[in-house]
């Protein structure tokens, strides 16, 4: 296959599992939808599948134009023909997470019991879910595609949490794991930032106790504030200084907020303008209840706690080959968290390599142009593929 | 004087300057109130006065019980008889900043033109102010006390910005300056965090375009969200982990928020509970319009910009003795900012010492128990006092 050929993308894909899913909280989800996208071809031996787990506000459109926003896929530079995750060689699957809002079952979905009669959404009644619940939903989709063993599971940030949970829950179903810019638990600081975001949503007058759709509104201002704050944590101080510094811009009069008088001399800093744009763009594509459900799942993520506080025990005897990647200026999931993970993997006698990428781009670096990172991903996947005798 | 004697505090102090203040934005403030507190005795030679500049949400109650909250003074461990800033030796003045809400002129004040007839507050009509405006208001109060030369100006965080502005604007009116946990400009990241806080306030349904007092409410939820976020930036990740980690607590049923169902199994993380308390306590003592006015003043602070982009030029020929202090885990005003300041002072041939205190407590360390910091403050002030022949 020519590596410059367009991506081989099929129709938008969707699977329904009428047997539902037993959640960790004890609730049985009566029906489960998984929305997903695939890229490349599954090999006759069905041994070349890579699951890519998306981050918190990501989705399944990893390497193609997003149907709602019209923007390029969120990891198009990493996934495609000839790319580090090479769809000429690998069959890539990316699924919208359980609890999300891009087609998989989540708070925006209809309650099954009401689907026949009165239409009612889950909203805040959606049961609390965990990262493991997300992974167990993904497992069902993978098995339904006739795949008994994955070549690899790859993901950054919350996607990396899912990678780790995959490796712990289904260690014999995958050859390789790449947890990127992530941690085996959510830190107190991460929980704190998530909580501020949630409170911002609750404070919005159009939150309506989570039943905003009944009023044909969304809690846009609160959700935008949550996104603005989260966005700061995705960037490093260096990146913000490099991109914006203290530059100011004169806002056109008609674009000025009612509170523009608060600006000194009518100007705003470029970094403010940028954050406001990020906030307002986000509310057009993301659901507030999903924001709450997924941040909660992240907060509760603690692999060691699932194994009596012993992280190495989670990986005891694992056959999975790990490549752990961190970024030097990432302060949301700092290198120290990755080192902690690598030490536990070493204690479990796992096959693990570790790379810290030098960059000033912060947590977002895993989505951006970082040649060293590209080489790391390509090298690791090729190495394991060659070792495993993959065609 | 016995160093264990109670603080010598007079009645609550207040000065009105009917000639007002010319602000940097070009507006003339028709009348100026400065609320302040003093500790210790002014020497017969009037040469032992130290101005302490408070941080963003601080106030003049530096070393005594706060009359509204009933809490101890915010720097009681640093200021008092026998303390590092020794009120047996020094006469300490602390003023509520211009734009604040504890008695000095600010958005909560009545508009002078309306004071006789219809009562109207400034609210969002309060003119934009700068750190220099704050310092020029303080200068008027100091001069009104008959003090022609200060022994020192000391302050942390936004207080440190005021210290720097004092040294640049009135270099011949002070012997010593201690800018602590601060920077000569507000960084893009700092501006970004401030902007999120402002947007959280604007998003509150009880903001009412800044005229919330007309409705007998305050934008409590938005202001609390702003405070919660800011509070995270005052602490280090290490401090949050040490204080709270991932510990959970069962909230009593009657204390649960309406959104408690979002918590997994009814629990909340201790760090969430702590932040919620910080947020709700803050709204009882702080005014939302002051929050906006003061964050804007911080954002616009850039000493170099006032001198054609050359920070050393701001300090050219300064006779002031500087002691710059930073804290190793402070990521809001990192040590790199202090080093940048120190380099500029060195280029200006200023008399400057620099201390980085090793601590894991983050930005808040300047308010907390740090013996090395105490020794630094005491040592610097005693050294300059002895050198200057202070009694």
Instruction: Give the model confidence (pLDDT) of B330-383 as tens digits.
Output: 999 999 999 999 999 999 999 999 999 999 999 999 999 999 999 999 999 999
User: Would residue A66 show up in a list of annotated catalytic residues for this protein?
Assistant: no
- Per-residue tokens: A173: 């179903």
Q: Is the pLDDT of residue B262 over 50?
A: no
- Look at strands B13-17 and B49-53 and give their pairing: unpaired
| Confidence label for B260 from pLDDT (cuts 50, 70 and 90) | very low
More confident of the two residues B254 and A95: A95
Minimum distance, in Å, between the CA of residue A11 and any CA atom of chain B: 35
| Confidence label for A260 from pLDDT (cuts 50, 70 and 90) | very low
**Interface check B302 vs A, CB under 8 A:** yes
Q: Is the pLDDT of residue A175 over 60?
A: yes
Contact between B113 and B20 under an 8 Å Cβ cutoff? The reply is no
* Structure confidence by residue, pLDDT tens digits, B158-199: 999 999 999 999 999 999 999 999 999 999 999 999 999 999
Percent of chain B, pLDDT > 70?
A: 91
Mean pLDDT lowest among A22-26, A73-77, B70-74, B119-123: B119-123
| Confidence label for A261 from pLDDT (cuts 50, 70 and 90) | very low
**Interface check B198 vs A, CB under 8 A:** yes
Question: Between B128, B243, B299, which is nearest A269 by CB?
Answer: B299
**What number is the average pLDDT over the span A247-255?**
64
Selecting among B104, B109, B157, B338, the annotated active-site residue is B157
| Tokens 């990192």 sit on residue | B334
| Tokens 């991903």 sit on residue | A377
Q: Is the pLDDT of residue A7 over 90?
A: no
CA distance A324 to A329: 16
**Interface check A244 vs B, CB under 8 A:** yes
| Confidence label for A113 from pLDDT (cuts 50, 70 and 90) | low
List every span in chain A annotated with CATH 3.40.50.1820: 13-187+302-387
Mean pLDDT lowest among A287-296, A360-369, B171-180, B260-269: B260-269
Q: Which helix (DSSP H) or strand (DSSP E) does residue A159 occupy?
A: helix A158-169
Contacts of B199 in chain A (CB under 8 A): 221, 224-225, 228, 276, 279
- What CA–CA distances, in Å, run from B177 to A272, B168, B174, B186, B319? 32, 11, 8, 19, 11
Find which of A229, A236, A334 to mutate to test the B interface (most B CBs within 10 Å of its CB).
A229
Q: Is A353 exposed, middle or buried (0-12, 13-18, 19+ CB in 10 A)?
A: middle
- CATH T-level assignment (fold) for domain B13-186+302-387: Rossmann fold (3.40.50)
Nearest to A372 by CA among A361, A351, A356: A356
Residues 3-42 of A with CB under 8 A from B: 25
Q: What is the pLDDT of residue A3?
A: 35
A194: nearest CA partner in chain B: B272
Is B227 known as a binding-site position? yes
**Interface check B150 vs A, CB under 8 A:** no
Q: Which helix (DSSP H) or strand (DSSP E) does residue A174 occupy?
A: strand A174-180
CA distance A117 to B172: 81
Minimum distance, in Å, between the CA of residue A365 and any CA atom of chain B: 17
Q: Does domain B191-293 have CATH number 1.10.1740.110?
A: yes
Kindly determine whether residue B276 and residue A189, on different chains, have CB atoms separated by under 8 Å: no
Interface size between A and B, measured as CB pairs under 8 A: 182
| Confidence label for A242 from pLDDT (cuts 50, 70 and 90) | very high
Kindly determine whether residue A264 and residue B300, on different chains, have CB atoms separated by under 8 Å: yes
- Per-residue tokens: A184: 């085996």
More confident of the two residues A282 and A252: A282
Q: Does domain A13-187+302-387 have CATH number 3.40.50.1820?
A: yes
Percent of chain B, pLDDT > 90?
A: 86
Nearest to A291 by CA among A276, A279, A302, A303: A279
CA distance A190 to A333: 9
Selecting among A33, A86, A109, A157, the annotated active-site residue is A157
Q: What is the pLDDT of residue A12?
A: 74
Nearest to A196 by CA among B31, B196, B94: B196
**Interface check B292 vs A, CB under 8 A:** yes
Nearest to A290 by CA among A111, A15, A101: A101
List every span in chain B annotated with CATH 1.10.1740.110: 191-293
Q: Is B334 exposed, middle or buried (0-12, 13-18, 19+ CB in 10 A)?
A: buried
Kindly determine whether residue B202 and residue A222, on different chains, have CB atoms separated by under 8 Å: no
What φ, ψ does residue A180 adopt, rounded to 5°? -120, 130
User: Would residue B31 show up in a list of annotated catalytic residues for this protein?
Assistant: no
Q: Is the pLDDT of residue B256 over 70?
A: no
Q: Is the pLDDT of residue B9 over 70?
A: no
**Interface check A148 vs B, CB under 8 A:** no
List every span in chain B annotated with CATH 3.40.50.1820: 13-186+302-387
Minimum distance, in Å, between the CA of residue A328 and any CA atom of chain B: 15
Nearest to B145 by CA among B36, B12, B9: B36
Q: Considering chain A, what is the average pLDDT of its residues?
A: 91
Q: What is the pLDDT of residue B120?
A: 87
More confident of the two residues B334 and B1: B334
- What CA–CA distances, in Å, run from A112 to A84, A120, B30, B87? 41, 9, 66, 71
* Structure confidence by residue, pLDDT tens digits, B89-105: 999 999 999 999 999 99
Find which of B225, B269, B290, B329 to mutate to test the A interface (most A CBs within 10 Å of its CB).
B225
Selecting among B59, B133, B204, B330, the annotated active-site residue is B330
Q: What is the pLDDT of residue B74?
A: 97
Question: Between A195, A292, A305, which is nearest B272 by CB?
Answer: A195
Kindly determine whether residue B224 and residue A199, on different chains, have CB atoms separated by under 8 Å: yes
3-state secondary structure of B291: helix
Q: What is the pLDDT of residue A268?
A: 87
User: Would residue B363 show up in a list of annotated catalytic residues for this protein?
Assistant: yes
A260: nearest CA partner in chain B: B124
Q: What is the pLDDT of residue B113?
A: 66
Q: What is the pLDDT of residue B266?
A: 52
Q: What is the pLDDT of residue A272?
A: 93
Measure CA of the first residue to CA of the last residue in chain B; give whole Å. Answer: 14
Q: Is the pLDDT of residue A186 over 70?
A: yes
Q: Is the pLDDT of residue B72 over 90?
A: yes
Q: Which residues contact A343 (CB under 8 A, 6 or more apart)?
A: none
Is A227 known as a binding-site position? yes
**What number is the average pLDDT over the span B272-299?**
95
Q: What is the CA angle B14-B18-B21, rounded to 5?
A: 95
Find which of B127, B203, B270 to mutate to test the A interface (most A CBs within 10 Å of its CB).
B203
3-state secondary structure of B284: coil
| Confidence label for B112 from pLDDT (cuts 50, 70 and 90) | confident
Question: Between B185, B205, B296, which is nearest A264 by CB?
Answer: B296
Residues 245-284 of A with CB under 8 A from B: 245-246, 257-259, 261-265, 269, 271-272, 275-276, 279
Kindly determine whether residue A222 and residue B199, on different chains, have CB atoms separated by under 8 Å: no
Mean pLDDT lowest among A169-178, B1-10, B139-148: B1-10
**Interface check B217 vs A, CB under 8 A:** no
- Per-residue tokens: A19: 């047997």
Whether ipTM exceeds 0.85 = yes
Q: What is the pLDDT of residue A194?
A: 96
**What number is the average pLDDT over the span A245-250?**
86
- Per-residue tokens: A168: 């712990």
Q: What is the pLDDT of residue A77?
A: 95
Q: Is the pLDDT of residue A66 over 90?
A: yes
Dihedral of CA A297/A302/A308/A311: which sign?
Answer: positive
* Structure confidence by residue, pLDDT tens digits, B36-69: 999 999 999 999 999 999 999 999 999 999 998 8
**Interface check A200 vs B, CB under 8 A:** yes
Q: What is the pLDDT of residue A4?
A: 32
**What number is the average pLDDT over the span A188-206?**
95
Mean pLDDT lowest among A177-191, A251-265, B114-128, B290-304: A251-265
Reported as half-sphere exposure (CB side, CA atoms, 13 A), residue A76 has a value of: 12
Kindly determine whether residue B196 and residue A240, on different chains, have CB atoms separated by under 8 Å: no
CA distance A300 to B158: 36
- Per-residue tokens: B344: 């500029």
| Confidence label for B228 from pLDDT (cuts 50, 70 and 90) | very high
CA distance A190 to B130: 33
CA distance B188 to B67: 36
User: What is chain B's alpha carbon radius of gyration, rounded to the nearest angstrom?
Assistant: 21
Q: Which helix (DSSP H) or strand (DSSP E) does residue A22 occupy?
A: strand A21-22
What φ, ψ does residue B141 adopt, rounded to 5°? -65, -45
């Amino acid at each position: 296959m020519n590596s410059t050929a367009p991506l081989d993308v099929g129709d938008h894909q969707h699977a329904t599992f009428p047997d539902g899913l037993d959640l960790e909280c004890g609730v049985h989800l009566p029906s489960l939808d998984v929305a997903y996208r695939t890229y490349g071809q599954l090999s006759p031996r069905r041994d070349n599948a890579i699951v890519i787990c998306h981050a918190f506000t990501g989705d399944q459109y990893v390497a193609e134009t997003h149907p709602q926003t019209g923007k390029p896929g969120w990891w198009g530079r990493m996934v495609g023909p000839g790319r580090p995750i090479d769809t000429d060689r690998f069959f890539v699957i990316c699924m919208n997470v359980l609890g999300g809002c891009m087609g998989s079952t989540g708070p925006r979905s209809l309650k099954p019991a009401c689907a026949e009669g009165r239409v009612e959404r889950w909203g805040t009644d959606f049961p609390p879910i965990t990262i493991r619940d997300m992974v167990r939903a993904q497992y069902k989709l993978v098995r339904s595609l006739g795949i008994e063993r994955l070549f690899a599971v790859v993901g950054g940030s919350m996607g990396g949490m899912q990678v780790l949970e995959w490796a712990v829950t289904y260690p014999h179903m995958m050859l390789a794991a790449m947890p990127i810019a992530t941690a085996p638990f959510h830190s107190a600081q991460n929980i704190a930032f998530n909580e501020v975001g949630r409170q911002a949503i609750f404070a919005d007058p159009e939150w309506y106790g989570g039943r905003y759709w009944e009023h044909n509104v969304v809690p846009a201002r609160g959700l935008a504030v949550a996104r603005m704050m989260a966005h700061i944590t995705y960037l490093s101080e260096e990146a913000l200084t490099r991109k914006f510094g203290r530059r100011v811009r004169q806002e056109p009069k008609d674009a000025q907020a009612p509170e523009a008088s608060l600006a000194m001399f009518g100007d705003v800093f470029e970094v403010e303008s940028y954050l406001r744009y990020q906030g307002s763009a986000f509310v057009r594509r993301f659901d507030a209840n999903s924001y709450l459900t997924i941040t909660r799942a992240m907060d509760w993520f603690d692999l060691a706690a699932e194994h009596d506080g012993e992280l190495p025990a989670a990986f005891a005897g694992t056959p999975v080959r790990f490549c752990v990647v961190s970024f030097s200026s990432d302060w949301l999931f700092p290198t120290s968290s990755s080192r902690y993970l690598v030490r536990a993997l070493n204690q479990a006698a796992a096959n693990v390599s570790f790379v810290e990428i030098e960059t000033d781009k912060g947590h977002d670096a895993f989505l951006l142009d970082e040649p060293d990172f590209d080489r790391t991903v390509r090298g690791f996947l090729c190495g394991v593929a060659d070792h495993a005798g993959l065609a």
